[in-house]
Amino acid sequence: MAETRQTETHGFQTEVKQLLHLMIHSLYSNKEIFLRELVSNASDAADKLRFKALSDSSLLSDDAELYVRVSADKDSKTITISDNGIGMTRDEVMSNLGTIAKSGTAEFFSQLSGDQAKDSRLIGQFGVGFYSAFIVAEAVTVRTRAAGAAANEAIEWYSRGEGEFDLKVIEKAKRGTDIILHVRDDAAEYLDEWRLKSIITKYSDHLSIPVQMPKAADEEEKAADKKLEWEAVNSGQALWTREKADISDDEYKEFYKTVAHDFEDPLLWSHNKVEGTSEYTSLLYIPKRAPWDLWNREQQHGIKLYVKRVFIMDDATQLMPSYLRFVRGLMDSSDLPLNVSREILQDNKITRSMRNGSTKKVLSMLSKLAKDEPETYQNFWNTFGTVLKEGPAEDQANQEKIAGLLRFASTHQDSSEATVSLDDYLARMSDKQDKIYYIVADSYEAARDNPALEIFRKKNIEVLLLSERIDEWLMSHLSEYQEKSFQAVTRGDLDLGELEDNADKEQQEAAEKAFAEHTERFAKALGDKVKSVRVTNRLTASPACIVTDSNDMSTQMAKLMEAAGQKVPETKYIFEINPEHTLVQRVVGLDDEARFGEWAQLLLDQATLAERGSLKDPAQFVSRLNKLMLELTDV
């Protein structure tokens, strides 16, 4: 490459262009974050080099004291952020500073609305990184030399933040990266070194790497044109290694913004030194807002792993279960070897114990929040609840704890908001009730209005109303809470246990007997369209409903599997009729078997609509309905 010294010009990936545009137009009220981002990248570069040098110490060569240096030059209107970290090769420059390699980026950009306040929040969630340089710079030069590369293999990248960037091979005496910002006139305040220093102490004080600035020179030294002397302006002690009592809330909050690349303060955090069979420190944060890629289960961004204060890797997903993937922060182990790899982490006693310990920590932190600050917890639930619902399936050992954190809509209140906890439900339950009743449907309304709830309303029994896609999956893994089992109101025989008194039972038996002949007639008319026909004990206001047998797949589970492209055996429903209903009484009064058959089918279709939300052959339903309506209006 060294022979091609000419400049090559490359176009940015479309998303980079969009991001740059937004950055400049939406983040102007929060300009100073550019320094946090660039210093944090420089510190990451030092961490990466230190890690690589564990297996190849020659990479550090004679420049083993790692640092980040920040300086400004008012004459040339530049700010320079330098590090002697890992640097970048030409290919790395091309991909890191020309594209955005995160999956889902295009979807993310499609969410932007043009409303600057909203968009700036979204960009905050996306993580602005290197490109934030353009908030204050009209042009940026990056000079970088990768660790292990020769001085004449360094690369210069230059861009005005519009459509393109230039690349050329240059000579660079030292390893690492210099980022030179050509500051815009409206950001001239950042050319003041005091200003820069105060931003560094605000955001980067706790970084373990020294962030240095030039020592103020006196007139004599200036006249003698002495070489710049540098001094560290941050404390340089990794925050999590300090005593909890000595760390202020503001320090925790600023540290969060650096590790999580978030603009906002965290919702809560927990800092723990664990001693005993395994020794580690964890600093775990719950963000306020969901990251843009929360729904992508493959998403990166997990917990940073350190071993004895040496950074080992980002996104150590093995340290936190997937249903807690919104947790940010770090863990620093005293037991793992420094040369630990992702593979070793996969199946390791130490990792497992760190994961178990921190999972418990997060769950108890959330339980405490739910107890002490229910409103804040509700906000948390509204943001991350759906992810937490993956918990009971993924983490059987903590099922009970997770269940206690769940929130539901219920028939107790007239709102679709999920605010009812299982403890609330149990507290309201009568002594005679021994099950937790629930229904899963496509929407809150479909759940609320399902005819199967009629008897529960009549008897004043609360039913949880679930309508999220994940809910069926959740309920199929939750078997009990506080020794009370869960019962779907649309499945199997309805056994209300002691809630039903003897009189109810006798009445039911009498109704079944009295209606037996008609039940037979319905069964004959509907043939193999139903599994069986029986008299209901669920309905009070509707003529009929369908329910699944207790060993058959529930409607919602079948729908989920179908949506996932799986072949699902056709579920046959049990058709339940309400003999008290006038329509049913009139239908059984019909002598003409053909007409009776039409009505029976119509009742079945109606019940299917209420339960499934759709019919296999809606056109046939409509034409049958029209035919019957015509007969009724034919006077």
Ligand X SMILES: Nc1ncnc2c1ncn2[C@@H]1O[C@H](COP(=O)(O)OP(=O)(O)OP(=O)(O)O)[C@@H](O)[C@H]1O
| Least gap, CB of 96 to ligand X (angstroms) | 3
Rounded (5°) CA angle 602-606-610: 170
Residue nearest to ligand X (CB): 129
x/- letters, 280..319, toward ligand X (CB under 6 A): ----------------------------------------
What are residue 304's phi and psi, to 5 degrees? Answer: -80, 140
| Least gap, CB of 80 to ligand X (angstroms) | 12
Stretch of 126-134, 271-279, 554-562, 621-629 contacting ligand X, by CB under 6 A: 126-134
Residue from 13, 18, 30, 96 binding ligand X (CB under 6 A):
96
How far is the C-alpha of 571 from the C-alpha of 548, rounded, in Å? 8
* Positions 131 through 160 that interact with ligand X (CB under 6 A): 131
Q: Which residues of 66-105 are buried (b: 16+ CB within 10 A; e: fewer)?
A: bbbbbbbeeeebbbbbbbbbbbbbbeebbebbbebebeeb
Short-list 4, 1, 3, 7, CA closest to 141: 7
Between 300 and 485, name the residue whose CB sits nearer to ligand X: 300
Which residues are annotated as part of the binding site? 37, 41, 83, 88, 96, 102-104, 125-130, 177, 342
Short-list 277, 464, 299, 289, CA closest to 356: 277
| Least gap, CB of 48 to ligand X (angstroms) | 7
How far is the C-alpha of 82 from the C-alpha of 39, rounded, in Å? 9
130 binds ligand X (CB under 6 A): yes
Between 106 and 397, name the residue whose CB sits nearer to ligand X: 106
177 binds ligand X (CB under 6 A): yes
* Token digits of residue 505: 């039972």
Q: Whole-angstrom distance between the N-terminal and C-terminal Cα of the chain?
A: 93
167 binds ligand X (CB under 6 A): no
129 binds ligand X (CB under 6 A): yes
- What sign has the CA pseudo-torsion 555, 557, 563, 566? negative
| Least gap, CB of 142 to ligand X (angstroms) | 8
| Least gap, CB of 24 to ligand X (angstroms) | 15
Kindly list the strands in the beta sheet with 480-481, ordered across the sheet, starting from the edge strand earlier in the chain: 409-410, 464-466, 435-440, 484-488, 480-481
Give Cα separations from 232 to 50, 215, 216, 235, 257 (angstroms).
19, 9, 12, 8, 21
* Token digits of residue 226: 């002495």
Which DSSP category does 159 fall into? E
Q: Which residues of 588-608 are buried (b: 16+ CB within 10 A; e: fewer)?
A: beeeeeeebbbbbbbbbbbbb
> Are 556 and 563 within 8 A, CB to CB?
no
214 binds ligand X (CB under 6 A): no
| Least gap, CB of 17 to ligand X (angstroms) | 14
| Least gap, CB of 1 to ligand X (angstroms) | 18
Task: Tell me, by CB under 6 A, how many residues bind ligand X.
Answer: 15
Between 15 and 434, name the residue whose CB sits nearer to ligand X: 15
Between 129 and 236, name the residue whose CB sits nearer to ligand X: 129
- Contacts of residue 215, defined as CB under 8 A and 6 or more positions apart, other chains included, come to 228, 229, 230, 231
- Contacts of residue 506, defined as CB under 8 A and 6 or more positions apart, other chains included, come to none
Between 314 and 549, name the residue whose CB sits nearer to ligand X: 314
Between 293 and 462, name the residue whose CB sits nearer to ligand X: 293
Three-state DSSP at 71 gives strand
391 binds ligand X (CB under 6 A): no
Residue from 16, 20, 53, 88 binding ligand X (CB under 6 A):
88
492 binds ligand X (CB under 6 A): no
Residue from 16, 23, 39, 83 binding ligand X (CB under 6 A):
83
Three-state DSSP at 407 gives coil
| Least gap, CB of 572 to ligand X (angstroms) | 52
Between 45 and 441, name the residue whose CB sits nearer to ligand X: 45
* Token digits of residue 476: 């199929």
Compute and round to an integer the Cα radius of gyration of the chain. 33
| Least gap, CB of 146 to ligand X (angstroms) | 8
Between 129 and 214, name the residue whose CB sits nearer to ligand X: 129
| Least gap, CB of 83 to ligand X (angstroms) | 5
Query: What CA dihedral angle connects 229, 235, 238 and 240, to 10 degrees?
Result: -170
86 binds ligand X (CB under 6 A): yes
Is beta strand 484-488 parallel, antiparallel or unpaired with respect to 464-466? unpaired
Stretch of 85-93, 110-118, 367-375, 546-554 contacting ligand X, by CB under 6 A: 85-93
Three-state DSSP at 231 gives strand
Between 164 and 315, name the residue whose CB sits nearer to ligand X: 315
* Positions 25 through 54 that interact with ligand X (CB under 6 A): 41-42, 45
Residue from 98, 127, 287, 302 binding ligand X (CB under 6 A):
127
| Least gap, CB of 100 to ligand X (angstroms) | 8
579 binds ligand X (CB under 6 A): no
Residue from 12, 20, 59, 85 binding ligand X (CB under 6 A):
85
Between 86 and 169, name the residue whose CB sits nearer to ligand X: 86
- Contacts of residue 526, defined as CB under 8 A and 6 or more positions apart, other chains included, come to 533, 575, 600, 601, 604
| Least gap, CB of 437 to ligand X (angstroms) | 45
Residue with tokens 């046939």: 620
Give Cα separations from 611 to 192, 430, 448, 449 (angstroms).
68, 28, 11, 10
Residue from 175, 261, 325, 581 binding ligand X (CB under 6 A):
261
Which residues are annotated as part of the binding site for ATP? 37, 41, 83, 88, 96, 102-104, 125-130, 177, 342
Between 85 and 266, name the residue whose CB sits nearer to ligand X: 85
Stretch of 128-136, 364-372, 409-417, 605-613 contacting ligand X, by CB under 6 A: 128-136
Q: Which residues sit at the interface with ligand X, rule CB under 6 A?
A: 41-42, 45, 83, 85-88, 96, 127, 129-131, 177, 261
